[in-house]
Structure formats: C-alpha cells, structure tokens
C-alpha cells in the first residue's frame, strides 16, 4: 500500500496554483501566498525502501510534498541505529528536511555517509563558537526592499521563494528573515521597480530559499517581468533542485529557460560526486547543448569533501553531466555550522592540488564572502612547497 502523501490541487489563482501533471493528474502542491506547503512525514506515514526508489518516477510536486522530516524516519530508511543517531542529534529550530531521491543515494548503514552528514542535525550545532553569528554577511544591511538583496555592483538577488525542499545544515541563510521577504505577484512590483529604476543592474539572481519551488507558470511570469526591463541582460538561477529532485527540470521549465531573452545561467549546488546519479544526468541532459549555461557551486565541508580525491571526482562527474565547476566556497561563520569548517591552509592546499591534477576549466574558484567587500574574496593558492611538505608528512 502506498503511504506517501498525495497533495490535492487547490486553485488560488491561475498563476499561483500548481497545475496537475499529465502523468499524475491528482498531484499538485497547495500554495500559500505563492509558497508551496511542504508537508512532512509523520510517525504514521513512514516510507519504505521501495517507495524511496520509486520516488524518481514521481513528479516533482509529489516528491517535494513528501520530504523526510524527522531523524527516526531517516534512520529507518537507511538501516541506521536510531539510538545511536538520537545520541548525536540536537533539537533544533532548523528542522531536518530531505527529499527521497537524495536519501536513495546515501549508503545504507553508514553514519558517515557524506550526503547524510549534509542534512543530519548534530549536537555540535548547539555549540557557541566565538566569531560565528546568525548573519555573518550582514545581508540585512543590503536588504533594500522585501525579497531583494543588493550587495554587489551590477547585480541583485531576488528571494523568489522562502523555503527549500532540502535543509542543508551548513546553510548561510538558515537564519535569514524569510517571512519579511516573501515575494508574491501582489508585492513583487516594489522589487522589480527598484531594478527598473537602476540601469546599472545588468543581472538578476534568483535565489532563496529555492527559486524553483514556485510552479512553472508563476516562474515564467516572474521571468517575463524581469525580461521586460531592458537593461537586465543576464538571469542567474541558484538551485539545488536539479540535484536533489532532478525531475524539477520539466519540459515547460526547460523550454522557458532555453527561449529566454536574457542570457540564462543555471547554477547548481552539488558538494559530492555521490550526489550525481543517472537520474540527475538524464534530467540535466535536457539543457545540455542549449543556450542555458550550466554551472555548479560547492561548499568545502569538513568530513564531506575536504580531500583531493573527492573534489577532483566531483569536478569530473559534473563535467560528464555537462556542468562546469564555478565556485568552491569556504564556509561562512554561521552560528551552528563551525563543525563543517575547513582551515584556510587546507583549503588553499586542496585548491593547488586541483590545479595540478585537472585542466583549468575543471578547477572551481576558491572564494569566501566577506561582509562589506565589493565582491567575493578569492583565496590564493598555497605554495607548492607547502604541498610537498604536507605530502611528506603523510
């Protein structure tokens, strides 16, 4: 018997409601002020391993509505000792949320799986570490109007949606005031007028939250509004969806991106080669050889991808999927994320080793965001002598 939640279509208006898919007419996510209501599993709605594998054939709305939302359910799916997990997990206001297709790529029985460690809330999150804060980048200072952040010259960031289908524990916006930045068709004119009145703005970055959490029709309408501003030449979309729920790349969405007036860059967020499977590659292939530029940004995370083999394999796997590595981010000093932090010394060493191992176009730029700077700060390569010494020490 199928235990997953089958969301019903609720038409709020023709742009906000999610249209049922052809393959699954009943599936659609309810929207509250243009934001999908992401329903989580409960104790009496437990997924089976079979359903986890079947989730790759569900439409994206059904998968989004059926994220794993508690540690016990996740442990059952992965054959992990619940008691052991419970001793590690911290009660936290930033709840666990992970889609089934992403869970299916985790290694069963492995508490150290690199995908699991990205989403599992640990007690270390409760440690009060000096220098870490809820807004280390001072984004509130640049929050010029609801839903709009103007931090760098020539580009602005629109928070097209205020939540995500996956909660990454290292997220630098985990404390962002999303409720104050809820962007809807009824209020987005203020942000769009800000862009329209500043002809130095050449690029609009759609982020969040997760910008592709809005349905295709509403997303297309927002893109229409942006493209009506003549001086906007580029649209960049920061999305985790093509990795965690690959079927989000629907025919309608891909067609809209391919036929956009502006240059479109879809920037994925993938941290480990195990995140890329055939399902991901097949859906990304919809945009390969199209006008849409496919890029990836990763975060350098302790115990997850802070070794040369993982990073080089990630770049190779991305390229095989038609995606170019773009940024490798040093972690931001966000409260609750210090256990993910990699030292600058190791980050620079790994960056140098990547340049020695891979062609230049497969080496992401190692950067850090620093509050008050006019651009991201590039971290320099380590000295080759440092690498040689490090290798001898091992």
Cα–Cα distance for residue pair 42/69, rounded to 1 Å: 8
Q: What is the pLDDT of residue 385?
A: 64
Q: What is the pLDDT of residue 123?
A: 84
Question: If pLDDT is split at 50, 70 and 90, which confidence band does 29 have?
Answer: very low
Percent of the chain with pLDDT over 70: 80
Cis before 111? omega within 30: no
Cα–Cα distance for residue pair 360/131, rounded to 1 Å: 34
Tell whether the model's pLDDT for residue 156 goes beyond 80. Answer: yes
Cα–Cα distance for residue pair 245/74, rounded to 1 Å: 17
Question: If pLDDT is split at 50, 70 and 90, which confidence band does 243 have?
Answer: very high
When comparing pLDDT for 66 and 172, which is higher?
66
Lowest-confidence range among 13-17, 134-138, 144-148, 380-384?
13-17
Lowest-confidence range among 168-172, 234-238, 355-359?
168-172
Q: What is the pLDDT of residue 313?
A: 98
Cα–Cα distance for residue pair 155/180, rounded to 1 Å: 21
Domain boundary assignment for the chain: 31-126
Q: What is the pLDDT of residue 231?
A: 98
Q: What is the pLDDT of residue 181?
A: 61
Question: If pLDDT is split at 50, 70 and 90, which confidence band does 266 have?
Answer: very high
Residue-wise DSSP of 2-51: --S--PPP--SSTTTSPPPPSS-TT----EETTEE---B--TTSPPPHHH
Q: What is the pLDDT of residue 84?
A: 75
Q: What is the pLDDT of residue 145?
A: 86
Question: If pLDDT is split at 50, 70 and 90, which confidence band does 180 have?
Answer: low
Q: What is the pLDDT of residue 128?
A: 77
Tell whether the model's pLDDT for residue 140 goes beyond 90. Answer: no
Q: What is the pLDDT of residue 161?
A: 85
Which H or E run contains 392? helix 384-393
Q: What is the pLDDT of residue 2?
A: 37
For 137, phi then psi, to 5°, come to: -95, 0
Q: Which two tokens stand for residue 85?
A: 């997990």
Q: What is the pLDDT of residue 135?
A: 66
Q: Mean pLDDT over all residues of the chain?
A: 83
Lowest-confidence range among 56-60, 138-142, 175-179, 388-392?
388-392
Q: What is the pLDDT of residue 220?
A: 97
Percent of the chain with pLDDT over 90: 58
Cα–Cα distance for residue pair 258/264, rounded to 1 Å: 8
pLDDT digits (tens, 9 = 90+) for 308-366: 999 999 999 999 999 999 999 998 778 778 889 999 999 999 999 999 999 999 999 99
First to last CA, the chain: 53
Tell whether the model's pLDDT for residue 8 goes beyond 50. Answer: no
pLDDT digits (tens, 9 = 90+) for 85-126: 767 787 677 889 999 999 999 999 999 999 999 999 888 887
Cα–Cα distance for residue pair 284/295, rounded to 1 Å: 11
Q: In terms of C-beta density within 10 A (0-12 exposed, 13-18 middle, 19 or more buried), how is residue 180 classed? A: exposed
Q: What is the pLDDT of residue 173?
A: 66
Tell whether the model's pLDDT for residue 292 goes beyond 90. Answer: yes
pLDDT digits (tens, 9 = 90+) for 63-91: 999 999 999 999 999 999 877 776 778 76
């Amino acid at each position: 018997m199928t235990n997953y939640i089958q969301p019903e279509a609720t038409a709020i208006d023709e742009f906000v409601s999610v249209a049922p898919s052809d393959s699954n007419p009943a599936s659609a996510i309810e929207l509250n002020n243009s934001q999908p209501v992401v329903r989580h599993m409960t104790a009496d709605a437990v997924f089976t391993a079979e359903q986890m594998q079947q989730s790759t054939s569900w439409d994206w709305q059904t998968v989004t509505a059926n994220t794993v939302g508690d540690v016990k359910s996740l442990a059952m799916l992965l054959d992990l000792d619940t008691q052991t997990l419970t001793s590690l997990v911290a009660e936290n206001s930033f709840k666990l949320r992970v889609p089934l297709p992403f869970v299916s790529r985790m290694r069963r029985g492995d508490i150290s799986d690199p995908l699991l460690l990205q989403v599992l809330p640990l007690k270390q999150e409760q440690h009060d570490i000096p220098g870490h804060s809820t807004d280390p980048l001072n984004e509130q200072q640049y929050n010029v109007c609801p839903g709009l952040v103007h931090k760098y010259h020539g580009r602005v960031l629109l928070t097209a949606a205020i939540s995500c289908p996956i909660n990454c524990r290292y997220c630098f916006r985990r404390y962002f005031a999303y409720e104050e930045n809820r962007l809807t068709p009824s209020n987005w004119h203020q942000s769009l007028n800000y862009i329209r009145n500043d002809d130095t703005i050449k690029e609009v970055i759609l982020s969040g939250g997760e910008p592709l959490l809005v349905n295709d029709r509403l997303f297309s309408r927002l893109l229409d509004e942006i493209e009506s501003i003549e001086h906007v030449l580029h649209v960049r979309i920061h999305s985790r969806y093509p990795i965690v729920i690959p079927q989000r790349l629907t025919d309608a969405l891909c067609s809209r991106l391919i036929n956009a007036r502006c240059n479109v860059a879809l920037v994925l967020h993938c941290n480990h080669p195990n995140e890329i499977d055939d399902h991901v590659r097949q859906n990304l292939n919809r945009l390969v050889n199209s006008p849409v530029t496919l890029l990836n940004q990763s975060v350098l995370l302790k115990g997850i991808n802070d070794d040369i083999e993982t990073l080089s394999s990630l770049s190779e796997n991305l390229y095989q999927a038609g995606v170019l590595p773009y940024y490798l981010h040093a972690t931001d000093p966000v409260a609750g994320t210090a256990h993910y932090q990699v030292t600058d010394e190791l980050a620079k060493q790994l960056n140098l080793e990547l340049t020695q191992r891979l062609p230049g176009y497969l080496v992401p730029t190692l950067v850090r965001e620093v509050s008050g700077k006019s651009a991201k700060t590039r971290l320099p390569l380590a000295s080759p002598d440092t690498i040689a010494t490090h290798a001898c020490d091992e």
